Structure 1
Amino acid sequence: MGEDEQLRSLMFLMTYLLLKRRRDVNSANIQRRDEIQRRVRHRQYFFQRQRRMLMMMIAGGIRSNVRIRTRPWTTTPRSDWWERVVMTEFQPSDWLDKFRMSRETFFYLCDKLRPRLARQDTSFRLALPVEKRVAVALWRLASNVEYRTISSLFGVGKSTVCRCVRDMCHAIVALLSSIYLRPPSEQELEDSAQLFLAYWGFPHCVAAVATLHTAIITPSSNASDYANPAGWLSVLSQVERTSVEASAAGARSHAACFCGLPQVAVSARGLFWDVCASFPGGTDPADIFQNSSLWATAAEGGLSPAPTPIFMGRPLRYVLLGEACYPLQSWLMKAYPEERSRRASRSTLTEPQQLFNWQLRRALRVSEEALLKLRARWQCLSKRNDCGLDVVPTMILACCILHNMCESHGDTFKADWQVEVSEAESPQPTHKTLLSTSMDQSNAEEVRGLFCDYFQLQNH
């Protein structure tokens, strides 16, 4: 009986092992068959995808062969438009019309911005070349067209266009401010004073201070703060402009629609020194100026070389010219208020005072023409800017720097560009004349009297 039980147990064990082995073999066969079918489906998918891509390439080649070649940049929204048309077929006039600068200046700008704009290729896509990124951003600054239009033209996404504009503006401010937007040296101050006298007839002056309104979309909060005296929303900038070449011609129109108010200082040569941007359009320009670095520098005598130059037989620092909304200072000249008498229609100003006002208004045309050139070249400042308020101030600074760069490189400025600015919907607002003398400097009237005496002598 013991041997029968052992034999029965052995048979049971062998039967169990055989069944388990058969089950394992069947399971392995099923897994192998599933893996083979998966690989077949995967290979069929890639074969079909490759076939579709090949057919698309063939179809695209056929379309490009039959496409009309006359002025293709007006009808060809392909991604290779930049490489195939701009880089090979653009003439010098095309570079000026589309990018507002010469080809040589364009590539100079690309080389300067390369450290901040260069990107590395990834395993998913190739990075845009620096030249194409700069071209996308310049197209936006020069035309102020919508992102989707530029996206279709350059064959990139709308988000890429937005990122190119932001990156380039920040790169320009970071890398080129020290070169093209800096305080003048003593020699440049003397040159600017001579040019103001030679071209505008105003002596002992180095720059003119002006304001610029840039139209914006309605902000999400505090919209009333951005309403300027003309009633539309804007950002205010204060600009000081100095330049080596006097702008002897140009339109005097103020017609333009602006999003912000920058305050600027402009020299006789048409280049900007300093720009204070990002202020709401309803801000008083006098408040902006008094809180700027230019005010502190000028008040401390930083706008004159040593020793102090002589004017009308006495030492006098160089002066700036400003609009009637600024306080009178010994270094900041503004016009006498044009008050009319009640009984007579003629002005109550004396003849020397009237002559001073005429000469000052004539000299202030340098800032008008400078800002007109700026808005005509970069029309994102002359039309309503739909960028966010975090981008607009940087964009204004970048446009001022680009303007200085183009002027320094001698790039042609086309008079046709001013037509669109002159036809803008919203003209620059007129700021309220500052009649109170409480903010005037004590000896400022004496200095203004010296200029009246000078013009009186010149008139005789």
Structure 2
Amino acid sequence: MEEEEEEERLRPFVFLMTYMLLKRRRDLNHADIQRRNEIQRRIRHRQYFFQRQRRMLMMMMAGGIRSNVRIRTRPWSTTASTDWWERVVMTEFQPSDWLDRFRMSRETFFHLCDELRPRLTRQDTSFRLALPVEKRVAVALWRLASNIEYRTISGLFGVGKSTVCRCVRDMCHAIVALLTATYLRPPGEQELDDSAQLFLSKWGFPHCVAAVATLHTAIITPSNNASDYANPAGWLSVLSQVAVSGRGIFWDVCASFPGGTDPADIFQNSSLWATAADGGLSPDSQTTFMGKPLRYVLLGEACYPLQSWLMKAYPEEKDRRGSHAALTEPQRLFNRRLSRALRASEEALLRLRARWQCLSKRNDCGLDVVPTMVLACCILHNVCESHGDAFEAKWQAEVAEAESPQPRHRPLPSTCSDQRHADEARNLFCDYFEEQNN
């Protein structure tokens, strides 16, 4: 009887010990399976790595053998791309070749490479040598100057298409990051005075330091909000606003706006507007014109609001019968002189598009790259102009034949955003031109 009671009391303990032993055995088996799977995974990974390394070595050896055979047996059929860059471009290019291919002189090219070297230098890897900075800049400049396909530039320089794209992106970002403070900055007091003298001597418009204009760059159809990019001419574009000095140098550039944006909205929200409204165009507060205090002015198209520091043409207002009311002779004379002076910005933009034809033809880059590319091209324009690089008339002829005309924006109604008493400043210029004419 006592044995049965003892057995009954120990039975739960026996069951518990049995369960724990079985669980321990199951855990050991599971751990052993995981260990075997991990060992097999590492073995497969190592085999794949060695196979890949062996394939790469075989491809490199085969490529070397094919190139050696091709050069020995058919030296006339093809030339290695590295030989074209290292021997032809770097040693045999004449000054006219540098200007025609890269849109700048050899001296300016190497100066640009030295300026961009901190951002464009890359380290060699175990599988390939990094492209030299000079070759990266040459690839990007060739693309900006010609707007030809990546595939063509890839075969020309002996690099991959993705490398061409990366060179263009990297150089544009490097130019904006490193050169903006030097070549695209607000003018100083002496530069304002010099620009005013140039506008008077070259364009016949006094007391003016810059002309404001717009630039439309054709793009491919974006994936979102395509209708916002349709400009007044009906094609898709990115809109930029520029301010051009009397020397044809860009002082201020606002890019990245859809082509359907109102230029007046861009202008009124730009830093140029804030600077001019605060009197930044004339550091000397004693500036006078026609015997009255007046700061230097900007010239703008009819789509901008009239301000005391921004002159635009007199509109031809309609009378009650709907016909255009005739302007006075001084007003017509002012409009003619203003139209002539606005050619400063028109010629600068034409030279910009002719030198960097990625802005004159449809740009097939992504929308995240186009604004940076526009800024970079404006800075490169200033670099070339500052270094005195020649400009070929044939570039301008090519652009005039190939590109679509720049859209014309509708005139802004005079009652919308014109500054009060701004017409008094415009009347001073009418008086000046009338005196000069008499």
Native 8 Å contact 1:79 1:153 kept in 2: no
**Residue 436 of structure 1: how far off its partner (Å):** 3.3
**Alpha-carbon distance in structure 1 between the residues aligned to 2:141 and 2:204:** 37
Describe the shift of the 1:309–1:45 C-alpha distance in structure 2 as closer, same or farther (beyond 3 A). Answer: closer
1:38-437 paired onto structure 2 within 5 Å? 52=62, 55-62=65-72, 65-66=75-76, 76=79, 78-238=81-241, 264-339=242-317, 348-437=326-415
Write the letter of the residue equivalent to 1:363: A
How high is the sequence identity, in percent, across the aligned residues? 78
Segment of structure 1 superposing worse, 132-141 or 84-93 = 84-93
Segment of structure 1 superposing worse, 384-393 or 301-310 = 301-310
Native 8 Å contact 1:77 1:153 kept in 2: no
Native 8 Å contact 2:210 2:245 kept in 1: yes
Describe the shift of the 1:113–1:64 C-alpha distance in structure 2 as closer, same or farther (beyond 3 A). Answer: farther
**Residue 305 of structure 1: how far off its partner (Å):** 2.2
Native 8 Å contact 1:381 1:396 kept in 2: yes
Deviations 1:242-280 (Å, cap 9, x if unpaired)? Answer: xxxxxxxxxxxxxxxxxxxxxx00011010011000000
**Alpha-carbon distance in structure 2 between the residues aligned to 1:228 and 1:321:** 23
**Alpha-carbon distance in structure 1 between the residues aligned to 2:60 and 2:261:** 62
**Alpha-carbon distance in structure 2 between the residues aligned to 1:420 and 1:77:** 31
Q: Which runs of 5+ in 1 are unaligned?
A: 1-43, 68-74, 239-263
TM-score by length of 2: 0.84
Segment of structure 1 superposing worse, 81-90 or 278-287 = 81-90
SS in 1 for 2:256: strand
**Alpha-carbon distance in structure 2 between the residues aligned to 1:286 and 1:376:** 27
Native 8 Å contact 1:200 1:362 kept in 2: yes
Report the aligned-residue RMSD: 2.2
**Alpha-carbon distance in structure 2 between the residues aligned to 1:424 and 1:55:** 45
Segment of structure 1 superposing worse, 224-233 or 338-347 = 338-347
Describe the shift of the 1:63–1:192 C-alpha distance in structure 2 as closer, same or farther (beyond 3 A). Answer: farther
Count of residues in correspondence between the two structures: 386
**Residue 54 of structure 1: how far off its partner (Å):** 6.1
Q: Which runs of 5+ in 2 are unaligned?
A: 1-53
**Alpha-carbon distance in structure 2 between the residues aligned to 1:284 and 1:334:** 17
**Alpha-carbon distance in structure 1 between the residues aligned to 2:405 and 2:310:** 26
Native 8 Å contact 1:214 1:234 kept in 2: yes
Write the letter of the residue equivalent to 1:196: F
SS in 1 for 2:353: helix
Q: Which one has the bigger helix percentage?
A: 2
**Residue 51 of structure 1: how far off its partner (Å):** 7.5
**Alpha-carbon distance in structure 1 between the residues aligned to 2:58 and 2:259:** 60
Segment of structure 1 superposing worse, 203-212 or 434-443 = 434-443
SS in 1 for 2:87: helix
Write the letter of the residue equivalent to 1:205: C
Deviations 1:306-365 (Å, cap 9, x if unpaired)? Answer: 233111001110000000000000000000012466889885100100000000000000
Write the letter of the residue equivalent to 1:287: D
**Residue 419 of structure 1: how far off its partner (Å):** 1.5
**Alpha-carbon distance in structure 1 between the residues aligned to 2:55 and 2:262:** 67
Q: Does 1:438 align with 2:438?
A: no
**Alpha-carbon distance in structure 2 between the residues aligned to 1:207 and 1:313:** 22
Native 8 Å contact 2:360 2:403 kept in 1: no
Native 8 Å contact 1:207 1:319 kept in 2: yes
Native 8 Å contact 2:316 2:324 kept in 1: no
SS in 2 for 1:381: coil
Structure 1 runs (4+) deviating above 3 angstroms are: 44-55, 63-67, 339-347
The residue number in structure 2 matching 1:451 is 429
TM-score by length of 1: 0.80
**Alpha-carbon distance in structure 2 between the residues aligned to 1:60 and 1:122:** 28
**Alpha-carbon distance in structure 1 between the residues aligned to 2:294 and 2:306:** 16
Deviations 1:20-69 (Å, cap 9, x if unpaired)? Answer: xxxxxxxxxxxxxxxxxxxxxxxx999988975664243133256445xx
Write the letter of the residue equivalent to 1:271: I
**Residue 155 of structure 1: how far off its partner (Å):** 0.5
Write the letter of the residue equivalent to 1:138: L
**Residue 426 of structure 1: how far off its partner (Å):** 1.9
